[in-house]
Structure 1
Amino acid sequence: MTALASDLVVRSLAVTFRSGTTIAEHRHRWGQLVVVARGAMRVTAVSQVWITPPTRALWLPAGVPHRLCAVGAEVALRTLYLAEPLSQALPAQPSVREVSPLLRELVLHILSLGMLVGSQPAQARLAQVLVDLVAQAGAVDLQLPMPADPRARALADRLLAQPGERVALAALADNVGASLRTLQRAFARETGLPIEAWRSKASLLHAAALLAEGASVTEAAGDAGWQSLAGFGAAFRQVFGMTPGRYRARRDQA
C-alpha cells in the first residue's frame, strides 16, 4: 500500500560526493539530520561554519539556508528528513551531535525502510525514538562563527580556504585592505574569539577533516600548518577532547 505524502513523518536519502563537491545555498521544509558515514562535510549556515566528520551528525532545523562542501576523497552522507511536529521537538539552531551506536543503527534501519509512515504504529514509535536519541545526543563544538564585517569576512574566507598557510596576519590584513588592529577588533566583537584563536581553530577543524579522510596525524598536522606535533596534539585535544590518533581511529567505527 502506497503511503500518502501527508502521512510521511521521516524521509531518507543516501548519497555520495567526490571531494570538493559543493551544493549552493538552499533550504528544506523539513528538519534535516545529516550523518556522515565517510569523509567529512563542511556546512555554512547562520553565519557559522561546521565541520562534520564520521561518527557525528549535523542537525539543521527546517527553513535554515545552508550550503555544503564535501571534504575527503569520497564523502558518504546518510540523511533523514523529519516532518513537523517531530522536527519542532529538536533544537531550533543547527548543531553537530554525537552519533551513538544505537542512533547509527536506527538511521541505517530507517534508510533500509526508505521512509517512516505516521499511521503505522511501529513506524511512528521508531520516529519518536529517533527524535529522543537526537535530542539526548551531546552537542559537539565543531563550528566557527563567521564575522560580518566585509574585510574580516574576506580574511576568514582566506583562512578557511588555505588553513595551512602560515603568512603573517599583518600581511593578510593588508591584502583585505584593513589594519590588523581593525580586524582584531572585528573578530573579537563579531565572533567572540581573538583572531589568532579563530585561525588556530580553523586549522584544527581542517586537520580533523583530514584525519576523518584517513590522513596520518603527521600529514594532517603539516597540511594544517602546524610545525610542532606536540603543539598540534595538545591544541587538538583541547578542542576535541581526544588525541588526533584516537580521533582518526573513530572513522573506522562509522
Structure 2
Amino acid sequence: MPVRRQAPRAARNAGPTSHVWPSGGRHLWLSGGTSDVQEHARGHLVHAARGVLSLQTERGTSIVPSNRVAWTPAGFTHRHRAHGDTDMRIVFLPPSLARLVPDRPAVFPTSGLAREVLLALTGPRDGDPAPAYRGPARARLLRVLVDELRAADEQPLHLPEPRDDRLRALARMLDENPADNATLAELGSRAGASARTLSRLFRAELGMTFYEWRTQLRVHHALVLLAEGHDTLRTAYACGWANPSGFIAAFTHLIGTTPGRYRAEQPKGFRQMC
C-alpha cells in the first residue's frame, strides 16, 4: 500500500515566510505549502537549501532536493510545492545569462561552489534581510553560478508531462500508486492501448523507455517520502521496490547519494525559523 502523502489542510493553505527582492528571494515553507500558479518575465533558478521542492510546468514536473537546482525559463507558467519544511531560494537571471542555459525547464546538480553562491545571493546581510551582494559583485557571482551549471550534466529529475491521452491515463494510475508493479501490457489494458503502442509513445513523446520513466517517477515519490520523515525501508516498499537494495541502487544512481545519507543530511529545526 502506498504511504499517504496528504499534508494537513492548514499546512497546505499556509503561505510562506518570505523575503523577496527584484533579484530573487527566499521563502520558508511549511511541509505541504503550495504557491499560486504564476509566471515571470525573467527566467529563474530555484534551490531548496533544506527540504524538497516540486516544480510543475506545462512541460512536466521537476523534483528539487537539496543537492539540485531547477531552472525555469521566462514565460513558463509554474507552481511550487514544499515536501517537508523547505527553505526555498530563488535567483532571477538577466537575459544575457539566461541565453546560456536551456530554453526549457531543467534540473542540474548543485556543486559545492554553486550552492554557496546560491546561498550568498539570497542570504541576508547582518541586521538586514536584503541579500549581501549587489551591483558588480552580484553580477560576478551570477556568472560564476551559470558557469557551474553549464559545466554540470543535466539531471533526469524533470519528469515530462505526457500529451497522449493513453499515456496520461497510465501516468495518473502510477502517480496515485507508484507501488503498482503491473507490466506495461497490464497497464495498457487499463489505459486502452497495447504495450507496443505505449512503448513507442514513451520513446517518441518522453524520450525514455517505460521502465526508465517509472523508475524516475518512483524516485520522485521517494524523495517526497524521505523529506516527510519516512525511513528507507518503508519508502522502498511504498514506491514499488521488492527489496531495499534495489531501491538504494536506483536512488543512488539518480540522486548521487544513498537514501539514508540523503535523509540524514537534511537540516533540522526549520519550524523555529518560521
Q: TM-score, normalised by structure 1?
A: 0.79
Where does structure 1 lack aligned partners over 5 or more consecutive residues? Answer: 1-8
Structure 1 counterpart of 2:91, one-letter code: L
Output one character per residue of 1:35-60: Cα deviation in whole Å (capped at 9) or x when no partner: 11222122233533221111211111
Tell me whether 1:156 sits opposite 2:171 in the alignment. yes
Tell me whether 1:90 sits opposite 2:101 in the alignment. yes
- Give the Cα separation in 2 of the matches to 1:56 and 1:127: 17
Q: Secondary structure at the match of 1:125?
A: helix
Tell me whether 1:76 sits opposite 2:87 in the alignment. yes
Structure 2 counterpart of 1:91, one-letter code: P
Q: Secondary structure at the match of 2:163?
A: coil
| Distance of aligned partners of 1:165 and 1:214 in 2 relative to their CA distance in 1, 3 Å threshold | same
Structure 2 counterpart of 1:65, one-letter code: T
Match of 2:197 among 177, 182, 207: 182
Where does structure 2 lack aligned partners over 5 or more consecutive residues? Answer: 1-20, 269-274
The aligned counterpart of 1:26 is: 38
Q: Secondary structure at the match of 1:208?
A: helix
The aligned counterpart of 1:11 is: 23
The aligned counterpart of 1:66 is: 78
| Distance of aligned partners of 1:204 and 1:109 in 2 relative to their CA distance in 1, 3 Å threshold | closer
Q: CA deviation at 1:147?
A: 2.3
| Distance of aligned partners of 1:100 and 1:117 in 2 relative to their CA distance in 1, 3 Å threshold | closer
Q: CA deviation at 1:25?
A: 4.1
**Count of matched residue positions in the alignment of Structure 1 and Structure 2:** 243
Conserved 8 A contact 1:10-1:82: no
More strand by share: 1
Conserved 8 A contact 2:106-2:155: yes
- Give the Cα separation in 2 of the matches to 1:185 and 1:84: 37
Structure 2 counterpart of 1:47, one-letter code: R
Q: CA deviation at 1:241?
A: 4.0
RMSD: 3.0
| Distance of aligned partners of 1:107 and 1:165 in 2 relative to their CA distance in 1, 3 Å threshold | same
Q: Percent same amino acid among aligned pairs?
A: 37
Q: Which has the higher contact order (CA 8 A, sep 6+)?
A: 1
| Distance of aligned partners of 1:19 and 1:181 in 2 relative to their CA distance in 1, 3 Å threshold | farther
Conserved 8 A contact 1:40-1:213: no
Match of 2:51 among 39, 57, 61: 39
| Distance of aligned partners of 1:189 and 1:252 in 2 relative to their CA distance in 1, 3 Å threshold | same
Output one character per residue of 1:135-161: Cα deviation in whole Å (capped at 9) or x when no partner: 334432212233211121121133223
- Give the Cα separation in 1 of the matches to 2:40 and 2:106: 16
Structure 2 counterpart of 1:83, one-letter code: P
Tell me whether 1:103 sits opposite 2:114 in the alignment. yes
Conserved 8 A contact 1:38-1:213: no
The aligned counterpart of 1:244 is: 259
- Give the Cα separation in 2 of the matches to 1:22 and 1:38: 16
- Give the Cα separation in 2 of the matches to 1:140 and 1:187: 19
| Distance of aligned partners of 1:181 and 1:91 in 2 relative to their CA distance in 1, 3 Å threshold | closer
Q: Secondary structure at the match of 2:266?
A: helix
Match of 2:211 among 176, 196, 201: 196
Q: TM-score, normalised by structure 2?
A: 0.74
| Distance of aligned partners of 1:83 and 1:117 in 2 relative to their CA distance in 1, 3 Å threshold | farther
Output one character per residue of 1:51-100: Cα deviation in whole Å (capped at 9) or x when no partner: 11112111112222333333x23222111112222322333332212223
The aligned counterpart of 2:225 is: 210
| Distance of aligned partners of 1:169 and 1:234 in 2 relative to their CA distance in 1, 3 Å threshold | same
- Give the Cα separation in 2 of the matches to 1:64 and 1:18: 25
